[in-house]
Every structure is written in structure tokens, then in C-alpha cells.
A = this chain, B = another copy of it.
Amino acid sequence: MNKIVHLSQLIESELNTIQFPSSPENLYDPLTYFFSIGGKRLRPVLTLLSAELGGTDKKEAISCALAIEIFHNFSLIHDDIMDDAPLRRGKVTVHEKWNSNIAILSGDVLLVKAYQLLSKQKAQHIPELLSLFNQTAIEVCEGQQMDMDFETREFVSVEEYIEMIRLKTSVLLGCALEFGFIVSENSLSNRKKIYEFGVNLGIAFQIQDDILDLYGDPEKVGKQVGGDVKSNKKTLLYLIAEKNATGELRAKLNEIKSELDLNLKIPAIQEIYEVLGVKKETKNYLDIYYQRAIDLLESIETDNDKTSIIEMIDVLFNREH
């Protein structure tokens, strides 16, 4: 655990060394602000852990780890505009504090900054890092578009939903991890395994996020529960409920969407979900992707210690040792 905290601090201090120019203020102040509000820095830590698992000093992977974190922050700034989100990590979002135009352009420059960091890696690794990064970045955009499309679509299947979260959030974990193996010049077979490990871990993590929104302990989760319920978001829970509901329950499920009082809406939804076996079925999906991730991690051929990566999984899933 100490190791993960240490790596996270290392990333934080490396991020602090990235000085944005002072001018134009309206382009760079939002970025300085956005990085000051913090974040868990999970993705770049995965890159460093993966580089070490691959047998290379973490210093060799710092720039591409930072590229991952900076890309992630770019996507948050633009997503916040699209979602019209007022807050991010409890602080005012960039487009609210400045305006949408400034958030668009600051985000753009941040995406380029990610490429700039990537290009600081050793020349012989750049083509492979770049190719994976490009593919990942495109997929993240595709996932965000699917997520927006789902909002107005009547029917979304479980498979479509999982494909959306794979693209929107999970491939970036795969990319973060494979970066460590590119830098440490691992075999293509191991690279594919650690990438898929990250993707499956990401899907499991996102499903857990859906479950915690309705069933989590607010103190442990660190945010108000019921946000998805309030906005009638098509989470995996909801899609499974819709798939299973017939007759009267289906009518109830539709009716409850318009309930404005969350103190009535949440228990009512929990009751419907209980009858429909929604939590259990969702948990099954989580377990499937979680187990796939674990199996993939185990299949990676190396003499190096996997303990730190396993500890990182525990951090992600809030599991105690």
C-alpha cells in the first residue's frame, strides 16, 4: 500500500513540475486550476507499476504515465462541458468557472500536451506508444459519443452498455498498463495480456461504480448516492431491470422515473430491483469481468513480483487486506 501512495505522490510532484506558460492567461489558468483540484492519479500509477512488473525502472515510464493522466484530464474537461456538469471533485468545472469556449480550447491544448509528454519517451518506443495512444484516444471519444447517444435512446442492451464503458473508460486503463510493457520491451503476448487485464478491470470497476451509486455507503464511496437514480441514468442496474421487468413491475419502473423526491425514489427502485434480482445479476457481471482480469494478470509470464498490481486492484475495489 505504501508503494502505491508513494507512486501517486511521485506522479503528483511530476505533474507539479509541468509549468504552463503564463500567457494567454485564459488558455493556461484553467489548466493550472484543474490540476490543482487533484485526483487519484490511478492511471499513471498503473503505468509505473506495469513498467516495474515488466522489469524496467519506473523512471523510464514517467513521461508516458503523465501523458495518460493529462489525456484523462483533457477528457474530463470536455466531458464536463458536454454533460453540463457544475462540479468536478467538489470544485467548479472549467466551463462554469470560465466559459465553454475557454474549456474547449484549454482541453484542446491539454490533449496536445499529452502527445508532447509522450514524445519525451525514448525514440525507439515512440511509434508503438503513439499507435496505442491514438487508438485509445479515438475509442474514448467513441465511448463518450455512445454514452451521449444512450441518453436519448429508448432501448439500450446490456451488451451495448458494456461496449460503451469498455470504450469510454476501460481501454484507457489497458493503454496505461500496456505503456509500461512497451517501455520495458515485453513480449507482444504479455502486452496483449496486460492490456486486456486493464480493460476487464476497468469494466468491472465501472460496474462497481454503478452498484455503489445505489447501494454504496456514502461515507465509503465519498459522494452522495443516488445520483444515477436522480437523473434516470441508464446504468447496468437499470438496463437489467428493464430487461427483466414485465407487466406491473414494468409499469412501476416507468412510473418511478418521474418521482422527484429521492427519499421516496431510491427505496422504491431498490424494492423493484430486489424483486427483479437486479443487484445479483449486476454483481454477476462484475464478478465475471473481475475474474477475467485476475486470470489475465496471472497468465502474464514474468519472474517479477505481481504484489503491487494486486494491491492496486484492492485499492480500486476498496477491498481490505
Interface residues of A (CB under 8 A from B): 21, 24, 26-27, 78, 81-82, 100-102, 104-105, 107-109, 111-113, 115-116, 119, 123, 126-127, 130-131, 133-134, 137-138, 141-142, 144-146, 148-149
Q: Which of B24, B111, B141, B142 contacts A142 (CB 8 A)?
A: B24
Q: How far does the alpha carbon of A130 sit from the alpha carbon of B115 in the complex, in Å?
A: 8
A121, chain B: closest CB distance, angstroms: 9
Hey, which chain B residues are within 8 Å of A137, CB to CB? 109, 112
A82→B126 CA distance, assembly (Å): 33
CB pair B111–A108 under 8 Å, yes or no, is yes
Instruction: Indicate if the CB atoms of A101 and B115 lie closer than 8 Å.
Output: no
* Chain A at the B interface: SS class: helix
A–B Cβ pairs within 8 angstroms, 5 of them: A105-B145, A112-B134, A113-B138, A115-B130, A119-B127
A119 with B131: CB separation less than 8 A:
yes
Knowing that A105-B141, A109-B137 are A-B contacts, what are 15 other residue pairs whose CB atoms are under 8 Å apart, sorted by A's residue number?
Answer: A21-B142, A24-B149, A78-B104, A81-B101, A104-B104, A105-B145, A107-B108, A111-B111, A111-B112, A113-B138, A115-B133, A119-B127, A119-B134, A126-B130, A130-B130
Please tell me which one of the listed residues B27, B108, B112, B145 contacts residue A78 in the complex, with CB atoms under 8 A apart. Answer: B108
What residues on B are CB-neighbors of A102 within 8 Å?
A: 145
Nearest B-chain residue to A121, judged by Cβ:
B127
How many angstroms between the C-alpha atoms of A145 and B102 in the bound complex? 8
**Among A26, A104, A116, A119: residue with most chain B CB under 10 A:** A104
Residue of B27, B127, B144 near A145 (CB, 8 A) is: B27
Rounded to whole Å, the gap between the CB of A43 and the closest CB of chain B is 17
| Residues in chain B near residue A100, CB distance under 8 A | 100
Which chain B residue has the least Cβ–Cβ distance from A137? B112
Closest to A144 in B: B105
Contacts of A115 in B (CB 8 A): 115, 130, 133-134
